[in-house]
Amino acid sequence: MIGIDELDVKGRRVFVRADLNVPLDGETITDDGRIRASVPTIRKLVERGARVVVAAHLGRPKGSVTPKYSLAPVSRRLAELLGEDVAFAADVVGESAQSVVAGLQDGQVALLENLRFEPGEESKDDAVRGEFADKLAALAELYVGDGFGAVHRKHASVYDLPKRLPHAAGDLVLAEVEVLRKLTEDPARPYVVVLGGAKVSDKLGVIANLLSKVDRLLVGGGMAYTFLKSQGHEVGKSLLQEDQIDQVKGFLDEAASRGVELVLPVDVLAATEFGADAPYEVVDATAIPADREGLDIGPRTRELFASKLADAQTVFWNGPMGVFEFEAFSGGTRAVAEALVSSEAFTVVGGGDSAAAVRKLGLPEDGFSHISTGGGASLEYLEGKTLPGLAALEE
């Protein structure tokens, strides 16, 4: 994988695939970490006289134009952080994109509209993705892969486009891979992975492979309820991945046979509904009332998880322990974050929302060895999987 320093970019149109998938409240960006992380590569290209065409996704609009997922607010923030104008295209490969890109002078930056407004971006059909990648390729002469958070996606802009243009990895991708490689090569033990969050179906899949690598797996957040259900417990209205209950039963058996400690919540904050002010009570994780929804791990679980982190030498954490965006349900995430900050271990936090949670809770970013921009991407890297976006850059 070569870096951007090895590309001759002056006067050339360089397509930068970034991960600008930031949390939004309406049009307000609630955490701009991923935009900040994308700035150094873009700035370097600007300084070297490239005509920079940035592209990214936001949310999961599933191939149709969805105004609430427009990158317009991101474009404004990117311009502020760069201290440069950013020409925003109102579409991805249409007339607006073509004219914005054609108008770029050396050292200028454009941002295309959300890649996922186009069905070709995420299509499972290679030909459909390829056709869309051809249109993206027509916008540039060189490709830079810098969207680490999305390198696990076999999407047109991540996987097919670098096959069509001379390419290099951006500085963010190189830095992320360097840190994560340390975790895959002989990590100091005990090696503990903490999983939470809401992308349950995506991330349950990684557990099978992680079980052969870690000593301990702590499961909280929206992930935990499928485990509790698979043990036969009622989980009420909590997040549940019904179709993966059997698979999860298999994980419990495999963890036991491998001697991996799989630690689940023993209590949860069970709310009457999903909301910042929803009334809630602390209940045993084995007795969640049918009309309640688990929105955070409870106080006994916080202590349990902290004790399981106390002797760790290596920790990877992805996914908040609860709905940390609501103050009342942020305590579990805070407890895990604080346990990591006070730990001597090599600690890596990964994921858009996980990193945002660390910042929102006011924890010192330098309290962690590394804060990664990728959640699912980091997990799949740690599993030892070949990630499409990295494989394409290596070719």
Ligand X SMILES: Nc1ncnc2c1ncn2[C@@H]1O[C@H](COP(=O)(O)OP(=O)(O)OP(=O)(O)O)[C@@H](O)[C@H]1O
Ligand Y SMILES: O=C(O)[C@H](O)COP(=O)(O)O
Taking CB under 6 A as the rule, does residue 190 contact ligand Y?
no
The active-site residue, picked from 199, 229, 237, 360, is 199
Q: Which option in ligand X, ligand Y, none does residue 137 bind, with CB closer than 5 to 8 A by kind?
A: none
Contact 59, 116 (CB under 8 A): yes
**Residue 11 catalytic?**
no
Angle CA 288–289–294, to nearest 5: 50
Stretch that binds ligand Y, among 44-52, 62-70, 132-140, 148-156 (CB under 6 A): 148-156
Q: What are the distances in angstroms from CA 110 to CA 34, 63, 84, 113, 120?
A: 17, 22, 10, 10, 21
Give the C-alpha separation, 324 to 34, whole Å.
18
Listed residue (189, 251, 192) closest to 217, CA to CA? 192
Q: Strand order of the sheet with strand 109-111? A: 86-88, 109-111, 51-55, 13-17, 142-145, 167-169
Contact 86, 16 (CB under 8 A): no
**Residue 376 catalytic?**
yes
| x/- map, 160-199, ligand X, by CB under 6 A | ------------------------------------xxxx
**Residue 34 catalytic?**
yes
Among 120, 147, 170, 375, binds ligand X (CB under 6 A): 375
**Residue 222 catalytic?**
no
Give the C-alpha separation, 251 to 154, whole Å.
26
Q: What are the distances in angstroms from CA 69 to CA 25, 61, 64, 135, 374?
A: 11, 7, 10, 22, 20
Taking CB under 6 A as the rule, does residue 149 contact ligand Y?
yes
Least separation in angstroms between residue 85's CB and ligand X is: 29
Among 75, 114, 318, 330, binds ligand X (CB under 6 A): 318
The active-site residue, picked from 12, 13, 17, 34, is 34
The active-site residue, picked from 352, 374, 375, 389, is 352
Least separation in angstroms between residue 74's CB and ligand X is: 16
Q: What are the distances in angstroms from CA 317 to CA 40, 185, 204?
A: 25, 17, 14
Q: Which amino acid is at 148?
A: F
Taking CB under 6 A as the rule, does residue 236 contact ligand X?
no
Among 376, 379, 388, 390, binds ligand Y (CB under 6 A): 376
| x/- map, 59-98, ligand Y, by CB under 6 A | -x--------------------------------------
Among 51, 77, 129, 153, binds ligand Y (CB under 6 A): 153
Q: Assign 376 to helix, strand or coil.
A: helix
Q: Assign 53 to helix, strand or coil.
A: strand
Give the binding site for ligand Y (CB under 6 A): 19, 21, 60, 149-150, 153, 199, 352, 375-376
Residues with a catalytic annotation lie at 34, 199, 352, 376
Give the binding site for ligand X (CB under 6 A): 149, 196-199, 221-222, 239, 294-295, 318-320, 322-323, 325, 351-354, 374-376
